[in-house]
């Protein structure tokens, strides 16, 4: 083995140990003598990405590619940077370039799978996860990713097997425990509670995210044991630490609600355009948005695009407002000054380029509720369906939901009373929308009404969207398309009513939230 090979192997070993300074020094020394060493650039790119500097890492990976990196490693990691930077079409193209090199390395295969998953190509991602596990069956991370992909695709038994394989390799892998708990009683025959409580006892007490994950899993497991009191206690224990570690967004959220209300009455929105455009489903999370998406996408003329951030990203780019967030009051206010037809076309072009969708499709991003007036003004043939669920059930379902910890827009869910205050603001928002927006373009769909009268409400929904009735929409649970949301298990079952009025079983823990809802006259 020559000295160069030894140095690069040592750099990779140091990178795995997170000895970044030493790894960085070796790579720079290699590049001094070999300025076009692709492997050194690739290692530096991974190091940079692990520090969260995705733009800089992308530059470094491009230098590795230009230096003729052959394995696809640099392209796979570059694709992951692009998806982190919300450049989905470029990410998919770069991932395909990596795949075209026929990689055999498990990490490269897994990385391609991650990029495709995050871009919404869940079926395409599965083969890469499977090949990663075949290449290295002893890595628990690959088993976990495989399980998550199988869960999205509704292959629950195989998903459970992958999660259990992950735990056999690493009994402390809390993500797999959380995933199994999220799948309900079927995954919980022997009860996960002892394993979860043991994981809680040995957790890293400085890791607020791990505490949050374990607490949610314990809460779900105790709910399966018909013990909501203990479940709520666990939720508070897990959320307390996370709540203390994040910035409070309540004032920002309040400003966003106010800006959205103002847009509803100030933007020019046509009343009766052609009904052939995209359908946006919005609302609070856990209120039936995924269910409605499945109903509509079961129609032969409609495809689900999943939860897209494309519209908000396109608006942010046109508005050129400062700050890292696509949803902020500044950007909403700035929408009054952007070229709205150009914004709508940019969104449609992006969806067509990255997902190949140019017919009727559903964009089910709940947070698009804030952008609803802009969407209707920018895309004249778009329709928006907003879900509304009983306020107390909405509070409980959001408080019980484990949202992605990197997604700060749902930080209200770390506190029960903050969740109730957010729900009050949301109900006020959609009341304003119902008054200000054209009824031919904006529709409120009550979850309880849908459950009580599935066929009648489905017919009204399809008529609003300009679609003829199709019986397949009543059999939405037979839709085999992937589901990458928390409702992946529920929407593969026929419509049920057991979650209605669930909040009543969670008293007295729910009482502080109920007081806020009562003052707002929502219960």
Q: What is the pLDDT of residue 158?
A: 95
Can you tell me the distance from the alpha carbon of 348 to that of 358, in angstroms, rounded to the nearest whole number?
A: 7
pLDDT at 334 over 80: yes
CATH no. of 250-519: 3.40.50.300
Query: How far from 125 is each of 121, 309, 448, 517, CA to CA, in Å?
Result: 6, 20, 35, 43
Rounded Cα distance between 396 and 504, Å, is: 10
Digit-coded pLDDT (tens) for 428-479: 999 999 999 999 999 999 999 999 999 999 999 999 999 999 999 998 777 6
Contacts of 251 (CB under 8 A, 6+ apart): none
Rg (Cα) of the chain, in Å, rounded?
A: 24
Question: How many percent of the chain have pLDDT more than 90?
Answer: 77
Q: What is the pLDDT of residue 185?
A: 59
Residue 133: partners with Cβ closer than 8 Å, 6 or more residues away: 106, 139, 142, 143, 146, 162
Is 141 in contact with 112 (CB distance < 8 Å)?
no
Q: What is the pLDDT of residue 136?
A: 96
Q: How confident is the model at residue 328 (pLDDT cuts 50, 70, 90)?
A: very high
Between 490 and 517, the higher pLDDT residue: 517
* Alpha-carbon separation of residue 454 from 34, 389, 440, 444 (angstroms): 67, 15, 21, 15
User: Has residue 271 got a pLDDT over 90?
Assistant: no
**Going by C-beta distance under 8 Å and a sequence separation of 6 or more, which residues neighbour residue 163?**
143, 144, 147, 176, 179, 180, 187
Would you state the pLDDT for residue 515? 98
> Span 334-340, mean pLDDT?
96
**Buried-state track 417-439, b at ≥16 Cβ within 10 A, e below 16:** ebbbbbbbbbbebbebbeebbee
pLDDT in tens, 40-90: 999 999 999 999 999 999 999 999 999 988 899 999 999 999 999 988 889
Give the span between the Cα atoms of 119 and 111, in whole angstroms.
12
Task: Tell me whether strands 302-304 and 442-446 are parallel, antiparallel or unpaired.
Answer: unpaired
Q: How confident is the model at residue 189 (pLDDT cuts 50, 70, 90)?
A: very low
pLDDT over 60 at 5, yes or no: yes
pLDDT tens-digit series, residues 361-412: 999 999 999 999 999 999 999 999 999 999 999 999 999 999 988 788 999 9
Whether the CB-CB separation of 28 and 48 falls below 8 Å is answered with no
Q: What is residue 378's predicted lDDT score, i.e. its pLDDT?
A: 97
> Minimal CA–CA distance to 191: which of 230, 150, 236, 221?
221
pLDDT tens per residue, range 24-54: 999 999 999 999 999 999 999 999 999 999 9
**Rounded to the nearest 5°, which phi and psi values hold at 281?**
-110, 125
- Per mean pLDDT, which range of 177-186, 296-305, 406-415, 488-497 is the poorest? 488-497
Calculate mean pLDDT across residues 223-236.
Answer: 93
Instruction: Give the pLDDT confidence score for residue 9 in this predicted structure.
Output: 94
How far is Cα 52 from Cα 133, in angstroms, rounded to an integer?
26
Helix crossing, 174-182 with 156-169: angle to 10°? 160
Cα–Cα distance between 220 and 11 in angstroms, integer? 43
pLDDT at position 489: 52
Q: Which residues pair with 446 in a beta bridge?
A: 388
Whether the CA torsion 80, 82, 87, 92 is positive or negative: it is negative
Q: What percent of the chain is predicted at pLDDT more than 70?
A: 94
C-alpha closest to that of 141 among 116, 175, 112: 175
Domain ranges of the chain: 250-519
**pLDDT of the residue at 496:** 63
Contact, 433 vs 372, CB < 8 A?
yes
Alpha helix ranges (H) inside 271-366: 289-297, 310-319, 329-334, 340-355
């Amino acid at each position: 083995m020559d000295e160069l090979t030894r140095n690069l192997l040592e750099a990779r070993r140091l990178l795995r140990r997170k000895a970044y300074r030493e790894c960085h020094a070796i790579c720079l020394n290699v590049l001094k003598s070999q300025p076009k060493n692709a492997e050194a650039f690739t290692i530096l790119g991974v190091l940079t990405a692990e520090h969260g500097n995705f733009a800089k890492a992308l530059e470094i990976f491009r230098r590795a590619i230009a230096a003729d990196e052959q394995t696809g490693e640099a392209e796979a990691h570059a694709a992951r940077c692009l998806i982190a930077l919300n450049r989905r079409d470029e990410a998919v193209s770069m991932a395909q370039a990596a795949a075209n090199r026929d990689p055999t390395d498990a990490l490269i295969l897994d990385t391609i799978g991650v990029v495709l998953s995050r871009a919404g190509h869940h079926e395409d991602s599965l083969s890469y996860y499977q090949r990663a596990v075949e290449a290295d069956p002893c890595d628990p991370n690959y088993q976990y990713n495989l399980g998550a992909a199988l869960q999205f695709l509704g292959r629950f038994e195989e998903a459970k097997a992958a999660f259990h394989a992950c735990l056999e390799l690493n009994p402390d892998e809390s993500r797999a425990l959380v995933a199994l708990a999220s799948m309900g009683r079927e995954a919980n025959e022997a009860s996960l509670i002892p394993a979860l409580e043991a994981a809680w006892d040995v957790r890293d007490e400085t890791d607020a995210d791990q505490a949050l994950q374990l607490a949610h899993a314990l809460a779900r497991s105790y709910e399966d044991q018909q013990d909501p009191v203990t479940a709520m206690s666990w939720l508070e224990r897990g959320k307390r630490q996370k709540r203390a570690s994040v910035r409070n967004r309540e004032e920002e959220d309040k400003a966003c609600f106010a800006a959205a209300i103002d847009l509803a009455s100030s933007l020019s929105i046509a009343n009766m355009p052609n009904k052939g455009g995209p359908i946006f489903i919005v609302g609070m999370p856990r209120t039936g948005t995924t269910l409605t998406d499945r109903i509509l996408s079961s129609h032969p003329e409609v495809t689900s695009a999943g939860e897209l951030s494309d519209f908000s990203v396109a608006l942010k780019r046109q508005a050129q407002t400062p700050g890292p967030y696509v949803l902020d009051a500044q950007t909403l206010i700035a929408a009054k000054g952007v070229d709205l037809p150009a914004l709508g076309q940019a969104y449609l072009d992006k969806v067509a380029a990255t997902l190949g969708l140019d017919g009727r499709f559903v964009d089910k991003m709940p947070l698009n509720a804030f952008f609803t007036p802009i969407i209707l003004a920018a895309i004249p043939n778009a329709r928006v369906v907003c879900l509304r669920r009983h306020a107390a059930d909405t509070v409980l379902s959001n408080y019980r939901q484990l949202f992605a910890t990197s997604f700060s827009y749902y930080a209200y869910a770390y506190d029960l009373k903050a969740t109730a205050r957010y729900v009050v603001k949301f109900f006020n928002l959609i009341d304003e929308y119902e008054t200000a927006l054209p009824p031919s373009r904006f529709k409120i769909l009550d979850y309880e009404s849908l459950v009580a009268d599935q066929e009648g409400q489905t017919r009204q929904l399809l008529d609003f969207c300009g679609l003829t009735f199709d019986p397949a929409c009543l059999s939405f649970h037979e839709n085999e398309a992937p589901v990458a949301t928390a409702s992946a298990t529920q929407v593969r079952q026929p419509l049920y009513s057991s979650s209605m009025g669930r909040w009543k079983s969670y008293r007295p823990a729910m009482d502080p939230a109920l007081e806020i809802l009562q003052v707002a006259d929502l219960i």
